[in-house]
Protein backbone atom coordinates (compact mmCIF):
# COMPACT_ATOMS: atom_id res chain seq x y z
CA UNK A 1 0.00 0.00 0.00
CA UNK A 2 1.25 3.44 -0.93
CA UNK A 3 1.27 5.92 1.94
CA UNK A 4 0.49 9.51 1.00
CA UNK A 5 1.88 12.49 2.86
CA UNK A 6 -1.19 14.59 3.73
CA UNK A 7 0.84 17.78 3.49
CA UNK A 8 1.81 16.96 -0.09
CA UNK A 9 -1.79 16.17 -1.04
CA UNK A 10 -3.07 19.42 0.46
CA UNK A 11 -0.30 21.49 -1.17
CA UNK A 12 -1.00 19.89 -4.56
CA UNK A 13 -4.74 20.54 -4.23
CA UNK A 14 -4.16 24.18 -3.26
CA UNK A 15 -1.82 24.71 -6.19
CA UNK A 16 -4.36 23.30 -8.61
CA UNK A 17 -7.12 25.43 -7.08
CA UNK A 18 -5.12 28.65 -7.33
CA UNK A 19 -4.18 27.88 -10.92
CA UNK A 20 -7.83 27.29 -11.81
CA UNK A 21 -8.74 30.66 -10.32
CA UNK A 22 -5.98 32.38 -12.31
CA UNK A 23 -7.24 30.88 -15.56
CA UNK A 24 -10.81 31.92 -14.81
CA UNK A 25 -9.70 35.47 -14.04
CA UNK A 26 -7.66 35.64 -17.22
CA UNK A 27 -10.41 34.33 -19.49
CA UNK A 28 -12.96 36.59 -17.83
CA UNK A 29 -10.88 39.77 -18.02
CA UNK A 30 -12.28 42.89 -19.65
CA UNK A 31 -10.91 43.91 -23.05
CA UNK A 32 -9.07 47.23 -23.18
CA UNK A 33 -8.80 49.02 -26.53
CA UNK A 34 -6.78 52.19 -27.05
CA UNK A 35 -8.89 54.22 -29.48
CA UNK A 36 -6.09 56.79 -29.43
CA UNK A 37 -2.59 55.32 -29.09
CA UNK A 38 -0.73 58.68 -28.72
CA UNK A 39 1.09 58.04 -32.00
CA UNK A 40 -1.40 58.19 -34.86
CA UNK A 41 -5.02 58.74 -35.88
CA UNK A 42 -5.43 55.09 -36.81
CA UNK A 43 -8.93 53.87 -36.02
CA UNK A 44 -10.67 57.17 -36.84
CA UNK A 45 -12.38 58.39 -40.00
CA UNK A 46 -14.18 61.48 -41.28
CA UNK A 47 -17.98 61.68 -41.29
CA UNK A 48 -17.93 60.65 -44.96
CA UNK A 49 -15.75 57.63 -44.20
CA UNK A 50 -12.48 59.10 -45.51
CA UNK A 51 -9.06 59.57 -44.00
CA UNK A 52 -8.79 62.15 -41.22
CA UNK A 53 -7.07 65.21 -42.67
CA UNK A 54 -5.61 68.54 -41.60
CA UNK A 55 -6.83 69.97 -38.34
CA UNK A 56 -6.80 66.78 -36.30
CA UNK A 57 -3.23 65.95 -35.36
CA UNK A 58 -1.01 64.13 -32.90
CA UNK A 59 1.32 66.54 -31.09
CA UNK A 60 4.95 65.92 -30.18
CA UNK A 61 3.72 65.35 -26.61
CA UNK A 62 1.40 62.55 -27.73
CA UNK A 63 -1.84 64.54 -27.53
CA UNK A 64 -4.75 64.27 -29.93
CA UNK A 65 -5.33 67.90 -30.88
CA UNK A 66 -7.96 69.65 -32.95
CA UNK A 67 -6.08 72.69 -34.28
CA UNK A 68 -8.66 75.15 -35.59
CA UNK A 69 -5.95 77.50 -36.92
CA UNK A 70 -5.78 75.04 -39.84
CA UNK A 71 -9.45 75.54 -40.71
CA UNK A 72 -12.54 73.46 -40.13
CA UNK A 73 -11.61 69.82 -39.76
CA UNK A 74 -15.06 68.37 -39.02
CA UNK A 75 -16.18 65.72 -36.56
CA UNK A 76 -14.47 62.33 -36.62
CA UNK A 77 -15.90 58.87 -35.93
CA UNK A 78 -14.39 55.69 -34.56
CA UNK A 79 -14.02 53.08 -37.28
CA UNK A 80 -15.37 50.40 -34.97
CA UNK A 81 -18.88 50.15 -33.64
CA UNK A 82 -19.33 49.66 -29.92
CA UNK A 83 -21.99 47.07 -29.17
CA UNK A 84 -23.59 46.73 -25.74
CA UNK A 85 -22.02 47.71 -22.42
CA UNK A 86 -18.76 49.65 -22.27
CA UNK A 87 -16.67 52.16 -20.37
CA UNK A 88 -14.91 55.01 -22.16
CA UNK A 89 -12.09 56.72 -20.27
CA UNK A 90 -10.53 59.95 -21.56
CA UNK A 91 -8.66 63.05 -20.45
CA UNK A 92 -9.42 66.37 -22.12
CA UNK A 93 -9.18 70.11 -22.11
CA UNK A 94 -10.59 72.85 -24.35
CA UNK A 95 -9.23 76.25 -25.33
CA UNK A 96 -10.39 79.32 -23.42
CA UNK A 97 -14.03 79.88 -24.36
CA UNK A 98 -14.00 76.48 -26.07
CA UNK A 99 -16.73 73.98 -26.85
CA UNK A 100 -16.52 70.33 -27.93
CA UNK A 101 -17.97 66.97 -27.00
CA UNK A 102 -17.74 63.20 -27.16
CA UNK A 103 -20.78 61.44 -28.56
CA UNK A 104 -21.52 57.76 -28.09
CA UNK A 105 -24.10 55.32 -29.43
CA UNK A 106 -23.84 57.40 -32.61
CA UNK A 107 -26.02 56.18 -35.48
CA UNK A 108 -27.95 57.53 -38.44
CA UNK A 109 -31.24 59.30 -37.84
CA UNK A 110 -32.29 60.07 -41.39
CA UNK A 111 -29.35 62.01 -42.82
CA UNK A 112 -27.95 62.94 -39.39
CA UNK A 113 -25.35 61.17 -37.26
CA UNK A 114 -26.57 61.59 -33.69
CA UNK A 115 -25.84 60.13 -30.30
CA UNK A 116 -25.72 60.90 -26.61
CA UNK A 117 -23.11 63.55 -25.84
CA UNK A 118 -20.71 64.14 -22.95
CA UNK A 119 -20.30 67.92 -23.15
CA UNK A 120 -16.74 69.32 -23.10
CA UNK A 121 -16.78 73.04 -22.34
CA UNK A 122 -15.13 76.04 -20.75
CA UNK A 123 -18.10 76.83 -18.51
CA UNK A 124 -16.83 80.26 -17.55
CA UNK A 125 -15.88 81.35 -21.05
CA UNK A 126 -18.63 79.90 -23.25
CA UNK A 127 -22.30 80.89 -23.32
CA UNK A 128 -23.38 77.24 -23.05
CA UNK A 129 -21.98 77.26 -19.53
CA UNK A 130 -24.94 79.40 -18.43
CA UNK A 131 -27.32 76.49 -19.00
CA UNK A 132 -26.60 73.47 -16.77
CA UNK A 133 -27.93 71.09 -19.44
CA UNK A 134 -25.28 72.29 -21.91
CA UNK A 135 -22.44 72.78 -19.41
CA UNK A 136 -19.34 70.58 -19.03
CA UNK A 137 -20.19 67.01 -18.05
CA UNK A 138 -23.84 67.32 -19.07
CA UNK A 139 -25.65 64.78 -21.20
CA UNK A 140 -26.00 67.54 -23.76
CA UNK A 141 -29.40 69.18 -24.03
CA UNK A 142 -31.06 66.65 -21.73
CA UNK A 143 -29.57 66.30 -18.25
CA UNK A 144 -27.46 68.67 -16.15
CA UNK A 145 -24.49 67.40 -14.14
CA UNK A 146 -24.50 67.62 -10.37
CA UNK A 147 -24.18 71.22 -9.24
CA UNK A 148 -21.13 70.40 -7.11
CA UNK A 149 -19.08 69.05 -10.05
CA UNK A 150 -15.38 69.90 -10.07
CA UNK A 151 -14.24 71.37 -13.41
CA UNK A 152 -10.58 72.27 -13.75
CA UNK A 153 -9.25 75.52 -15.30
CA UNK A 154 -8.96 75.48 -19.09
CA UNK A 155 -5.18 75.08 -19.05
CA UNK A 156 -5.51 71.84 -17.06
CA UNK A 157 -6.71 68.40 -18.13
CA UNK A 158 -9.93 66.86 -16.82
CA UNK A 159 -10.35 63.11 -16.37
CA UNK A 160 -13.68 61.66 -17.49
CA UNK A 161 -15.53 58.39 -17.92
CA UNK A 162 -18.67 57.34 -19.74
CA UNK A 163 -20.11 54.14 -18.29
CA UNK A 164 -22.90 52.36 -20.20
CA UNK A 165 -24.62 49.31 -18.70
CA UNK A 166 -27.75 48.37 -20.59
CA UNK A 167 -30.00 51.42 -20.50
CA UNK A 168 -28.09 53.04 -17.64
CA UNK A 169 -25.82 55.93 -18.70
CA UNK A 170 -23.29 57.51 -16.34
CA UNK A 171 -20.98 60.48 -16.81
CA UNK A 172 -18.00 60.89 -14.48
CA UNK A 173 -15.94 64.06 -14.18
CA UNK A 174 -12.68 64.23 -12.20
CA UNK A 175 -13.52 61.21 -10.09
CA UNK A 176 -17.16 62.04 -9.32
CA UNK A 177 -20.34 60.72 -10.93
CA UNK A 178 -22.24 63.72 -12.31
CA UNK A 179 -24.91 62.01 -14.47
CA UNK A 180 -26.83 58.79 -13.74
CA UNK A 181 -29.90 58.22 -15.91
CA UNK A 182 -31.85 55.34 -17.47
CA UNK A 183 -32.80 55.50 -21.15
CA UNK A 184 -36.53 54.96 -21.54
CA UNK A 185 -37.40 55.96 -17.99
CA UNK A 186 -40.24 58.49 -17.45
CA UNK A 187 -37.63 61.16 -16.73
CA UNK A 188 -35.76 60.32 -19.95
CA UNK A 189 -38.92 60.43 -22.07
CA UNK A 190 -39.94 63.76 -20.56
CA UNK A 191 -36.59 65.42 -21.28
CA UNK A 192 -36.32 64.02 -24.82
CA UNK A 193 -39.86 65.23 -25.61
CA UNK A 194 -38.90 68.75 -24.52
CA UNK A 195 -35.57 68.77 -26.41
CA UNK A 196 -34.36 69.12 -29.99
CA UNK A 197 -34.50 65.32 -30.17
CA UNK A 198 -38.29 65.30 -29.76
CA UNK A 199 -38.87 64.12 -33.33
CA UNK A 200 -36.62 61.10 -32.64
CA UNK A 201 -38.60 59.22 -29.97
CA UNK A 202 -36.14 56.32 -29.92
CA UNK A 203 -33.17 58.64 -29.41
CA UNK A 204 -30.41 56.94 -27.39
CA UNK A 205 -32.22 53.59 -27.20
CA UNK A 206 -29.88 51.81 -29.61
CA UNK A 207 -27.29 49.53 -28.01
CA UNK A 208 -24.83 49.75 -30.91
CA UNK A 209 -23.06 52.79 -32.30
CA UNK A 210 -19.82 54.67 -32.89
CA UNK A 211 -17.80 57.16 -30.83
CA UNK A 212 -17.58 60.72 -32.19
CA UNK A 213 -15.10 63.50 -31.37
CA UNK A 214 -16.61 66.86 -32.24
CA UNK A 215 -15.35 69.92 -34.04
CA UNK A 216 -17.34 72.88 -32.70
CA UNK A 217 -14.96 75.56 -33.90
CA UNK A 218 -12.54 75.53 -30.96
CA UNK A 219 -9.29 73.79 -30.10
CA UNK A 220 -9.59 70.66 -27.97
CA UNK A 221 -6.97 68.23 -26.68
CA UNK A 222 -7.15 64.59 -25.58
CA UNK A 223 -4.39 62.63 -23.87
CA UNK A 224 -6.06 59.26 -24.13
CA UNK A 225 -9.29 57.69 -25.32
CA UNK A 226 -9.59 54.18 -23.92
CA UNK A 227 -12.48 51.79 -24.49
CA UNK A 228 -13.08 49.00 -21.95
CA UNK A 229 -15.42 46.17 -22.92
CA UNK A 230 -16.73 43.62 -20.39
CA UNK A 231 -15.76 39.97 -20.75
CA UNK A 232 -18.05 37.71 -22.75
CA UNK A 233 -18.79 35.76 -19.56
CA UNK A 234 -19.76 38.96 -17.72
CA UNK A 235 -17.20 38.26 -14.97
DSSP-derived 3-state class of residue 14: helix
Give backbone dihedrals phi and psi of 19, rounded to 5 degrees, phi first: -65, -40
How far apart are the C-alpha atoms of 135 and 171, rounded to whole Å?
13
| Domain-embedded: residue 13 | no
| Domain-embedded: residue 85 | yes
Q: Find the CATH number of the domain harbouring 108.
A: 2.60.120.560
* Residue 159: its H or E element: strand 158-165
Identify the band that residue 94 occupies on the pLDDT scale cut at 50, 70 and 90. very high
Q: How many domains does the chain divide into? A: 1
* Residue 188: its H or E element: helix 186-193
Is the CA virtual torsion 193, 123, 115, 173 positive or negative?
negative
Identify the band that residue 194 occupies on the pLDDT scale cut at 50, 70 and 90. very high
Domain range for 132 is: 32-229
Q: What is the pLDDT of residues 156-183, one digit of tens each?
A: 999 999 999 999 999 999 999 999 999 9
pLDDT at 28: 59
Residues 111/131, Cβ–Cβ less than 8 Å: no
pLDDT at 7: 46
- Of 113, 103, 100, the residue nearest 47 (C-alpha): 113
| Domain-embedded: residue 234 | no
DSSP-derived 3-state class of residue 230: coil
Q: Residue 82's CB: how many other CB atoms inside 10 A?
A: 21
| Domain-embedded: residue 1 | no
Is the CA virtual torsion 177, 109, 31, 214 positive or negative?
negative
Q: What mean pLDDT, rounded, does the chain reach?
A: 88
Q: What is the pLDDT of residues 208-222, one digit of tens each?
A: 999 999 999 999 999
| Domain-embedded: residue 124 | yes
- Of 178, 168, 64, 60, the residue nearest 118 (C-alpha): 178
Amino acid sequence: MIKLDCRVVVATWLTAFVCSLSVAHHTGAAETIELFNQRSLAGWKTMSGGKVGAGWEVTADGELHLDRSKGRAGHILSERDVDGDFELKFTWRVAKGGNSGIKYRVRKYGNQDLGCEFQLLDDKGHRNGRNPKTSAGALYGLFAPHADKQLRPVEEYNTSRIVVQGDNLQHWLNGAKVIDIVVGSPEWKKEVAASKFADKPDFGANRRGKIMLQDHGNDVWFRNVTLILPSASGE
